[in-house]
Amino acid sequence: MLKTPQATLNPDLLGTGTPPIPEAQGWARAYDGRNGPLIDLSQAVPGSPPPQELLQRLGEAAAATDSARYGAITGDLALREAYAKEIGSIYGARFSPSEIAITSGCNQAYVITMMALARAGDNVLLPTPWYFNHEMTLTMLGVEPKPLPCDPAAGFVPDVADAEKLIDARTRAIVLVTPNNPTGAVYPAATIAAFAELCARRGLWLVLDETYRDFLPEGVARPHEIFAASTWQDSVIGLYSFSKAYAVPGWRLGAITAGEKVVAQIGKVLDCVQISPVRAGQAAITWGIDGIRAWREANRVEINARAALFRAAMAPLEGWRVLAAGAYFAYVAHPFAGVPAADVARRLVEERGVLALPGPYFGPAQEQHLRVAIANVAADRIGGLNERLRGFALG
């Protein structure tokens, strides 16, 4: 009898790790509530609902006949115009709607961008610790995610000289995430400018993920100046998510900012992946850019206050060190040398009811670290971390 060949899946997909957050959230099921309600610091989700006015606009848009029809491949013109004006005021530069593509979330924006920039066998530099979905995307596309280690002593800010040493003939892009996921580090404008110069000089793309741009600390007037350069379209692509600042992750809306010729090519991928973004959400966000500006500013102040409160709660705890904190995140060194970070995180949630993510979820050489997402936990719960962690030991 002839043996029937076994159908197989894409080896690059099979070689990609599974999304890690559900694993960690599974550990929380063993917590018996002995220390009070679970403090879930695992996932970056907004801790507050969006303003009622924004939800009302969504309902009105969803009831409109046009929202049920296909829209433009790169997003409705009204939102692209409003977003171009918004980022123009942020960066002090002029943008055309033709330089904007609206996507179904920033994760999709990243996948689309990587499909446009690299093919199997190429590599892309990712500063480590990295956002695990960035690594997963590259791996399943057959593109090598090349680690660019970031020094904790430098606040996890990547070094441009280190990056240049890693560039080879297969390198197509360098990805920066600022404010950073997972560390919370905010990259100085000079660092971003140095990477932009490096990419322009070496014929690479700088992909700048600014999902958490709206949560810059007080006193930072402008994230960077690279969009003010007249030639940015030749080597810079910006990514953004409306999920965090507008508290609407379920609406799945993001944006790509790139040169007009690049957006035209990206449109090919978008047409195959999404055809057009969900239109009701686009209409609501178009209004919300100006309509909830005051609410967004108050939200920024609140999130930054939580970062400061987290630092204060952790400071008295012996052996625990907050290495970086900002926007939605903090990156922490735990005091248990030689103990796998997953064991620390699992015991912490089972015994103390505090769920954080192990550092190795975010790349190599991270066993001493835990990532904490602080935005989805109210201030009083963050303040209670000191009591929860005090005296925690691994026997």
Summarised one tens digit per residue, pLDDT across range 216-232 is 988 887 999 999 988 99
Give the number of domains in the chain.
2
Last residue of a domain, one of 262, 292, 322: 292
Q: Is residue 4 part of a domain?
A: no
Residues 115 and 219 in one domain: yes
**What are the CA-CA distances from residue 149 to residues 54, 243, 299, 326 (Å)?**
41, 28, 32, 19
What pLDDT is attached to residue 235?
97
Residues 97 and 213 in one domain: yes
Residues 285 and 327 in one domain: no
What pLDDT is attached to residue 45?
85
- Name the burial class of residue 395, with classes exposed (0-12), middle (13-18) and buried (19+) by CB atoms within 10 angstroms of its CB: exposed
Q: Which residue is listed with tokens 């560039």?
A: 167
Nearest to 167 by CA among 206, 110, 120: 206
Domain extent, residue 21, equals 11-40+295-389
Last residue of a domain, one of 258, 292, 326: 292
Strand-strand pairing, 369-373 and 357-358: antiparallel
Residues 160 and 308 in one domain: no
Question: How many CB atoms are located within 10 Å of the residue 121 CB?
Answer: 9
The pTM score is: 0.95
Whether the link from the prior residue into 179 is cis, omega within 30° of 0, is: yes
Residues 320 and 247 in one domain: no
Residue 321 clears pLDDT 70, i.e. is over it: yes
Q: Is residue 103 part of a domain?
A: yes
Residues 340 and 240 in one domain: no
Residue 55 clears pLDDT 80, i.e. is over it: yes
CATH at 364: 3.90.1150.10
Q: What is the mean pLDDT of residues 233-237?
A: 97
What dihedral do alpha carbons 303, 308, 312, 318 form, nearest 10°? 90
What pLDDT is attached to residue 181?
96
Q: What is the mean pLDDT of residues 248-270?
A: 97
Q: Is residue 30 part of a domain?
A: yes
- Name the burial class of residue 126, with classes exposed (0-12), middle (13-18) and buried (19+) by CB atoms within 10 angstroms of its CB: buried
CATH at 213: 3.40.640.10
Q: Is residue 115 part of a domain?
A: yes
Residues 109 and 143 in one domain: yes
Report the distance separating Cα 29 and Cα 23, nearest Å: 11
Residues 162 and 310 in one domain: no
51-55, 199-203, 219-223: least confidently modelled range: 219-223
Report the distance separating Cα 382 and Cα 376, nearest Å: 10
Q: Is residue 260 part of a domain?
A: yes
Residues 383 and 240 in one domain: no
What pLDDT is attached to residue 82?
98
Residue 4 clears pLDDT 80, i.e. is over it: no
Residues 198 and 267 in one domain: yes
Percent of the chain at pLDDT exceeding 90 = 88
Residues 271 and 299 in one domain: no
pLDDT digits (tens, 9 = 90+) for 339-352: 999 999 999 999 99
Report the distance separating Cα 60 and Cα 55, nearest Å: 9
Last residue of a domain, one of 229, 257, 292: 292
What pLDDT is attached to residue 381?
86
Residue 7 clears pLDDT 70, i.e. is over it: yes
Q: What is the mean pLDDT of residues 238-253?
A: 97
What pLDDT is attached to residue 48?
85
Residues 278 and 329 in one domain: no
Residue 35 clears pLDDT 80, i.e. is over it: yes
What pLDDT is attached to residue 1?
63
What pLDDT is attached to residue 207?
98
pLDDT confidence tier of residue 20, bands split at 50, 70 and 90: confident
